[in-house]
Structure 1
Amino acid sequence: MKSGDAARLMGWDTTRLSRILRGTYRVSADDVRTFCGKLGVDDPAGVEEVARVAEEPIGEGWWAAYASRIGQNYLDFIELEAEAQTLRIQHPVIVPGLLQSPGYVREMITRAPTAVSPAHAEMLVSIRLARQAVLSTATKLHALVPESALHAKFESGPAIMRDQIRKLLDASQMTNVELQLLPLTAHPTYGSIGAITVLSYKHPWANVASVDNALGGNHIDDPQQVSFLEKEFAAIAEIALPVDKSREVLDEYLEGLRK
């Protein structure tokens, strides 16, 4: 249906409809139901979910306090992550952020080659740790962790990695977490395209994929591109160690049996 015809169904002009579709104008739950009815949408559950979200207050998540202090890409990702039902995360080099211990987080942020002030670094540490609260909800996490990350050496001493391995072992016992190690023997092509996060939501919201980079990442909702990254993740998961074997290997590292 042309936008002008759709707008006339609601007695709106096309400018108002355009702004609603772009998210710059709010729309009420009743308007959502009425509009979908006039458009002939036959999906009661989907319509009610969109109507519910239409009534949600804006900017009330814990991340709102940081809105003016971090990049928009990162802020968008935090909100996407907090709302997801399922998270699939793969990083080729480090332990993914949601599974990092406090000491590991601080090492990764305060010793990064890009200079930030101590105050800004502490803020970023606080944000990363706050994001981990998503694991205490019903959100499911499937994480692929490179075994090579367990060989990192820190100037602060070996306690950093011991605590990190304990954190991974604790997470692996959570009912909503599936943790697999990508072994050192894996072919380097697996994971070579960079860090991937695939986020899935309740019906009718589309899956989103995020490819990490130094500027906060790129978020993708194009179905074909998301499907490509889902297949990439699945291929890496296929060659990663099973969950039980991954836990055994982590135990060996904790006991110092692996060098």
Structure 2
Amino acid sequence: MPNSPLVPTVRRRRLGASLRGLRNEAGMTLDVAATAMGWRGPKLSKIESATQAIRPADVGALLSVYGVADPQVRDALEDLARDAGKRGWWQTYSGVVSPAYADYISLETDADTICAWSPLVVPGLLQTAAYARETIAGVTTSRAPDEVAALAEVRMARQAVLSRPGTAPEMWAIIHEAALRQRFSARSSTMREQLRRLLDASDMPNVTVQLMPLDSTPHPGVVGGFTLTGFPPPMPSVVLLENLGGATYVEGNDATPFTKAFERIRATALPVEDSLARIAELEESHRK
């Protein structure tokens, strides 16, 4: 029986895109590079398109063919090849975590920067458990209560990445003020606790929180929210777009407009100190 086609995970796509970019920089065609490795062209094409795995040792050999000597680049891509098919803690929740969601969790795990523009909800990495449960239950149209509870657990478990010793990513979250004025019927204290969580998270050295005021001027973020994950070079950034239909990823050079958009959104939002002061005012209003 023939082997099933390999599913292109985000990690494999990132590796393939990086290898393709380095091959192009070296001025080599697929056939020339494959011949130098003793392969046929289709094999390298499949590696670059993420439909075939590659061993870390072969990544090193391929980088030598491309003339890449930078140890940081070599280590990063060899590690990515080593981890491409690795199972993460989220596999325990495979019954409720879709492949696209699992891909995103692996992105968070590998990222060194996470930039989130959230016009409608608080970013998942900064949510309280109660907020997570209510928002997941409110958004879903088909999840049973036990699945909602499991997804909330996953969201809480994801937050460990922000306090990971030595390798925690830098997170910059910009949240629209309208998202912080939402009402929660199940527990009246949900939003107050969530606002306190944002203030506490902002004390972390790797977390920055900004607020987009209700009376802001127009900016690129009015088109919709997105999360931009960045990685050590030469790996390209990846953008996550979400809607009711699921998750869409924008990778490589196509992510550049989102990087520029985030800078403009950041410039339009309240300064960090003013943002935290406004969040503190909102939190205090829930105590009255």
Asked if Structure 1 and Structure 2 have the same fold, meaning a TM-score greater than 0.5 normalized by the shorter chain, the answer is: yes
Deviations 1:169-227 (A, max 9, x none): 1011111001001111113555221111111101211111112212332111131x312
Match for 1:119 among 128, 136, 146? 146
Aligned to 2:57: 30
Displacement of 1:258 in angstroms is: 11
For residues 169-248 of structure 1, what are the structure 2 equivalents within 5 Å? 169-187=199-217, 189=219, 191-223=221-253, 225-248=254-277
CA spacing shift, 1:48–1:150, aligned 2, 3 Å: closer
Unaligned runs of 5+ in 1: none
Q: CA RMSD in A?
A: 2.2
Equivalent residue number for residue 253 of structure 1:
282
Q: How far is 1:42 from its partner?
A: 4.5
49-58 or 126-135, which deviates more: 49-58
Residues 196 and 233 in structure 1, CA contact (< 8 A), matched pair in contact too: no
The runs of at least 4 aligned residues of structure 1 exceeding 6 Å deviation read: none
Aligned: 1:14 with 2:41: yes
State the 1:257 CA deviation.
8.2
Please point out which of 146, 151, 163 is paired with 1:136: 163
For structure 2, the 5+ residue unaligned runs are 1-27
Closer, same or farther: CA 201–149 of 1 in aligned 2, 3 Å: same
Identical amino acids, percent of aligned pairs: 36
Q: Is the 8 A contact 2:116 2:226 kept in 1?
A: yes
Distance 1:196 1:161, change over 3 A: same
Instruction: Work out whether 1:101 is the aligned partner of 2:128.
Output: yes
Would you say the 8 A contact 2:219–2:268 is kept in 1? no
CA contact (8 A) 1:211 1:219 kept: yes
Correspondence for 1:58: 85
What amino acid sits opposite 2:131 in the alignment? Y
Preserved CA contact (<8 Å) 1:194 1:212: no
SS of corresponding position for 2:222: coil
Aligned to 1:87: 114
User: Which residue identity is paired with 2:56?
Assistant: A
Counterparts in 2 of 1:240 and 1:57: CA distance versus 1, 3 Å: closer
Provide the rounded CA distance (Å) in 1 between the counterparts of 2:233 and 2:44: 23
Aligned to 1:71: 98
Query: CA–CA distance in 2 between the matches of 1:51 and 1:248?
Result: 45
d(CA) in 2 for partners of 1:101, 1:58: 31
- 1:157 to 1:123, Cα distance in 2 relative to 1, 3 A: closer
- 1:5 Cα offset (Å): 2.3
Give, as a single letter, the amino acid of the residue that structure 2 aligns with 1:245.
D
Compute the TM-score of the two structures, normalised by the length of structure 1. Answer: 0.91
Aligned length in residues: 258
Give me the whole-angstrom Cα distance separating, in 2, the residues matched to 1:190 and 1:25.
Answer: 37
